[in-house]
């Protein structure tokens, strides 16, 4: 029975890996350089703010396609212009229109639209893709996030440490 269990785990991992879409070589390379854990406020929000919120942000007068990407409710909701589709399906690239549009080279489909004169770098595309894969978790503005006391890192030369702040330097 243990061999069967191991085999089923291997097959499951292979199936999951084979279901994820292929990325362009440049985006895949940029993805390799990203941190293991992305932070919404540090990594994702700056990209969305600079490249997406002008057309898909909180300003109703400038909003296109009745889509808001600045809130999870707006990003996860069914698209008005494409019923049954969503801009962002947390954890699912294939179901996320954002994923398909940021990788598209078709001017009538790609995002940002060519008329916006904005474009995403390979790193920015990789950030959005990894964030969606990781669950597309939104966080409140950093000023509203309760500070957490970090773990004090270990150091090689303990004789340099006078107080805990020295461990971070």
Question: pLDDT, tens digit, for every residue of 61-97?
Answer: 999 999 999 999 999 999 988 888 999 999 999 999 9
Instruction: Give 8's pLDDT tier (boundaries 50, 70, 90).
Output: low
Residue corresponding to tokens 């959005």: 128
Residue 21 pLDDT > 90: no
What is the SS3 assignment for 86?
strand
pTM of the model: 0.77
Predicted confidence at residue 142, as pLDDT, reads: 87
Predicted confidence at residue 6, as pLDDT, reads: 56
Residue 39 burial (CB count, 10 A): 13
């Amino acid at each position: 029975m243990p061999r069967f269990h191991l085999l089923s785990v291997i097959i499951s991992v292979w199936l999951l890996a084979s279901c994820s879409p292929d990325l362009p070589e440049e985006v895949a390379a940029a993805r390799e350089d990203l941190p293991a854990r992305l932070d919404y406020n540090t990594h994702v929000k700056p990209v969305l703010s600079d490249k997406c919120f002008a057309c898909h942000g909180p300003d109703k007068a400038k909003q296109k396609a009745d889509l808001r990407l600045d809130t999870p409710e707006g990003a996860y909701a069914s698209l008005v212009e494409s019923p049954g589709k969503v801009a962002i399906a947390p954890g699912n690239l294939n179901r996320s229109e954002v994923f398909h549009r940021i990788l598209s080279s078709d001017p009538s489909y790609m995002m940002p639209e060519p008329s916006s004169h904005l474009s995403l770098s390979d790193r920015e595309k990789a950030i959005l893709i990894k964030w969606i894969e990781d669950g597309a978790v939104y966080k409140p503005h950093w000023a509203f996030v309760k500070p957490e006391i970090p773990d004090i890192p270990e150091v090689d030369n303990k004789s340099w440490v006078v107080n805990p702040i020295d461990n971070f330097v």
